[in-house]
Structure 1
Amino acid sequence: MGLENEKSETSVIMSEDEFTRSFEPFLNTKSSRALPDRDPRDINAHLKISFEDVIAEPNAIHSFDKVWVGSSAGFELIKYLSYRALTTLLAVPLSFVAGLLFALLSCVHIWVLMPGLKSCLLVLPSLQKVWDSLLDTFVAPLSQSAGKCLSTIDMKGIPN
């Protein structure tokens, strides 16, 4: 209703660049040395979510600037603190479960699946020869006889 074009007398404490960044620099008490990249292969690129990826206001309608800044700050802060709390509670037990699961899958793959597959592949050539001879002995003559019997059927004489 025209309010989005009005200029306010107040100013936002954070600049636009500081606003869009994570709140980690504000909440982090560690030294400012560079942290190692924990996702070097960019496996979780789809989880890099910002406020603008979730909430977007079209050009036709806007809330007050203070509401937008406050809700964005609240979103980023809650996302950051919730993730920290959940990983504090769940990271060690879930990594233990994931380690057990991958160990189990590796063990089954190495000691059960691959030896069974290799054994089948060793036996298959001789089984294939037996199977081929059984088909040639029993199934092929029946199929040839059925084919010869059915080849004499004339489909042209059947009325619609």
Structure 2
Amino acid sequence: MILIAMGVSGCGKTTIGEMLAKQLNCDFADADSFHSQANKDKMHKGIPLDDEDRWPWLKAIRASIEEKRADGKPHVYACSALKRVYRDILRDGDRDVTFVYLKGTPELLRERIKTRTGHFFDPALLQSQLDTLEPPGPDEAIEADIALSPEAIVDKVLKEVETR
């Protein structure tokens, strides 16, 4: 089983991903660690990534997913996966990959980003992510409202994973 906590910056992908991994007794990886330094520098300067920047990044994450699947171990990732085509690359037809869409209002997301420290993401990029986001449907992801507590989100996700 592979879970991918997804959504725009500030939605809690890392927090929820780490909590899910702990509950599932498995490893966690943040997709940000798969970005090239050029991508990180671009985002730090407030320049949105384009698809050409993202393709190698998404392929690197998919390669990691394949390694974890070959090991037969569950794994949790945090990845924005904003467009369906990105999710299609990450999933690559693999029915064992489940997305967890962490959905929140722009106001709540902005507030969270303002209070975050030590992250390379320029807060001004949030609007470009919201504009890029193609929200997944129920056929594609488990949806969770980020206004809920992290514990409530994890409980909801784990219950829905059991029924899939």
TM range (shorter): under 0.3
What TM-score comes out, normalization by structure 2 length? 0.23
**Structure with more of its chain in helix, by fraction:** 1
- With a CA cutoff of 8 Å and minimum separation of 6, indicate the structure with the bigger relative contact order: 2
**Structure with more of its chain in strand, by fraction:** 2
Answer with 1 or 2: which has the greater Rg: 1
What TM-score comes out, normalization by structure 1 length? 0.24
